Amino acid sequence: MKDKYDVIVVGAGPAGSSVATTASKAGLDVLLIEKRQEIGDPVRCAEGVDKEGIKRHIKPDPRWIAAEVKGSRIFAPDGTKLQISEKMSGAEVGYVLERKIFDRALAEQAVSSGAEVIVKTSATGLIRKNKQITGIHARSIGESVDIKAKIVVGADGVESKVGRFAGINTTLAPKDIETCAQFLVSGIEADEYCQFYLGNNIAPGGYAWVFPKGKGIANVGIGVLGSLSNNGMPVKLLSNFVKHHFPTGKIIEMVLGAVPASGPIEKTIADGFMLVGDSARQSDPLTGGGILNALDAGVMAGTVAASCIEKDDVSEKALMEYERQWRETIGKKISKTLVVKEKLITFTDKQFNIFAHSIEGKCDNTMGVFDIVRALFRANPKLLWEFRNLIK
């Protein structure tokens, strides 16, 4: 490890590796640090991702594709089923990944693009010269080190500290977090569909999911809105769900985690500094999906970093181009899904059931999410008023 780089990226998740790959390809000298000893482990993810979206970032490899899915099914609280084909499912299904291998493959891609990757190295603070961020303080394999950089990128996930070190307000209120529990369940029959279960008794303010990984294994999880959750609630609800749906299944792994569900935050840049991925709250507030947004935002951040360094201007004003690009794309998308989420969490189980019944016979395998929404509007004209902000 040298004591000076063009860019230091903190956190080797999808966001960090994407920034590191893009910036290295543009010719910058990049250091990517990861606090854990193994990139990608432990996994805190249901691992579902849009097939086409992923192909923009990395060549598909059977090593990290656990399963390909045919589509998704949504179950209303009374069990009414709506089925959506894979092609039409939007960003949430297509591949179910092996993230332990996928995250490592992304980091390998950064290395082969020229970045240096160091594990067991944790950013503990930021170095400043006046207002400008000029590097990081870190603990690297038991030792304290200072490393300088023209730009520091925070890609340290949902629990991000680096954003706060930079003076950016990343606080999430309980209503802006989905608290999640997930079991890897084996010995079950799960076909090639991702399943989503709605209902206030199943997952208040969230949903339960079953993402098949092939060979009788699936990620089975639950997300509960932070403001409706209490200590241990997601695990208790998930245990009941698994007992009910997979009575013979064996739990072979468990993860607890959180997903930001706030929609766009006010600011993601400072002088010599950018925030990317979950640390910038760029995940989808409705589904909790964040892998693809993290990868896309990583490319934007890496590209802007390269052009700002080339112009020798890494001020907040110059880095604003990153902020502009992600707000125009990811930001617009997540603002819309935030409106849907905020409406959905007010629905009672009875309302969910009524909506599902209203389109039950009208759904077929060729319908996508927006076809279903359209069918819902047709069958329930009052809904048009509830979602008027989305149609503008």
Ligand X SMILES: Cc1cc2nc3c(=O)[nH]c(=O)nc-3n(C[C@H](O)[C@H](O)[C@H](O)COP(=O)(O)OP(=O)(O)OC[C@H]3O[C@@H](n4cnc5c(N)ncnc54)[C@H](O)[C@@H]3O)c2cc1C
Show binding-site residues.
Answer: 15, 34, 45-46, 48, 99, 123, 278, 290-291, 333, 369
Do the beta carbons of residue 94 and residue 68 sit within 8 Å? yes
| Minimum distance, C-beta of residue 298 to ligand X, in the bound complex (Å) | 8
249 binds ligand X (CB under 6 A): no
Structure tokens that stand for 110 in this block: 């950064």
| Minimum distance, C-beta of residue 290 to ligand X, in the bound complex (Å) | 2
Q: Between residues 249 and 355, which has the closer beta carbon with respect to ligand X?
A: 249
Q: Which of 155, 198, 225, 299 binds ligand X (CB under 6 A)?
A: 155
| Minimum distance, C-beta of residue 196 to ligand X, in the bound complex (Å) | 11
156 binds ligand X (CB under 6 A): yes
Q: Between residues 72 and 303, which has the closer beta carbon with respect to ligand X?
A: 72
| Minimum distance, C-beta of residue 107 to ligand X, in the bound complex (Å) | 10
Q: What does the buried/exposed string (b/e) look like for 346-356 if buried means 16 or more CB atoms within 10 Å of the residue's CB?
A: ebeeeebbbbb
Do the beta carbons of residue 178 and residue 206 sit within 8 Å? yes
Q: Between residues 77 and 289, which has the closer beta carbon with respect to ligand X?
A: 289
Where are the strands (E) in 39-154, listed by range? Answer: 48-50, 65-68, 71-75, 81-85, 94-97, 116-118, 121-129, 132-140, 143-154
| Minimum distance, C-beta of residue 30 to ligand X, in the bound complex (Å) | 14
Local structure of 123: helix, strand or coil: strand
Q: What track of x and - describes contact with ligand X for positions 265 through 304 (by CB under 6 A)?
A: ------------xxx---x----xxxxx-x----------
Look at residues 233, 235, 196 and name the one whose alpha carbon lies nearest to residue 218. Answer: 196
Amino acid at 232: G
Structure tokens that stand for 324 in this block: 């502009």
Q: What is the 3-state secondary structure (H, E, C) of 320-369?
A: HHHHHHHHHHHHHHHHHHHHHHHHHCCCCHHHHHHHHHHHHHHCCCCCCH
Look at residues 27, 8, 5, 4 and name the one whose alpha carbon lies nearest to residue 16. Answer: 8
Stretch that binds ligand X, among 1-9, 27-35, 72-80, 232-240 (CB under 6 A): 27-35
356 binds ligand X (CB under 6 A): no
335 binds ligand X (CB under 6 A): no
11 binds ligand X (CB under 6 A): yes
For the chain, how far is it from start to end, CA to CA, in angstroms?
51
Q: Between residues 65 and 180, which has the closer beta carbon with respect to ligand X?
A: 180
123-152 positions binding ligand X, by CB under 6 A? 123
46 binds ligand X (CB under 6 A): yes
Q: DSSP states of 21-41 as a string? A: HHHHHTT--EEEE-SSSSTT-
Q: Between residues 33 and 65, which has the closer beta carbon with respect to ligand X?
A: 33
Q: How far is Cα 286 from Cα 278, in angstroms, rounded to an integer? A: 14
| Minimum distance, C-beta of residue 359 to ligand X, in the bound complex (Å) | 25
Q: What track of x and - describes contact with ligand X for positions 177 through 216 (by CB under 6 A)?
A: ---x-x----------------------------------
Size of the site for ligand X (CB under 6 A): 39
| Minimum distance, C-beta of residue 293 to ligand X, in the bound complex (Å) | 7
| Minimum distance, C-beta of residue 155 to ligand X, in the bound complex (Å) | 5
Sign of CA dihedral 162, 18, 209, 212: negative
Q: Which of 208, 259, 330, 338 binds ligand X (CB under 6 A)?
A: 259
48-67 positions binding ligand X, by CB under 6 A? 48-49
- Tell me how far apart the 2 most distant CA atoms of the chain are, in Å: 64
34 binds ligand X (CB under 6 A): yes
Q: Which residues are annotated as a binding site for FAD?
A: 15, 34, 45-46, 48, 99, 123, 278, 290-291
| Minimum distance, C-beta of residue 74 to ligand X, in the bound complex (Å) | 15
Cis peptide before 62 (omega within 30 of 0): no
106 conformational bin, left if phi > 0, alpha if psi -120 to 50, beta if neither: alpha
36 binds ligand X (CB under 6 A): yes
Q: By the criterion CB under 6 A, which residues form the site for ligand X?
A: 10-16, 33-36, 44-49, 122-123, 155-157, 161, 180, 182, 221, 257-259, 277-279, 283, 288-292, 294
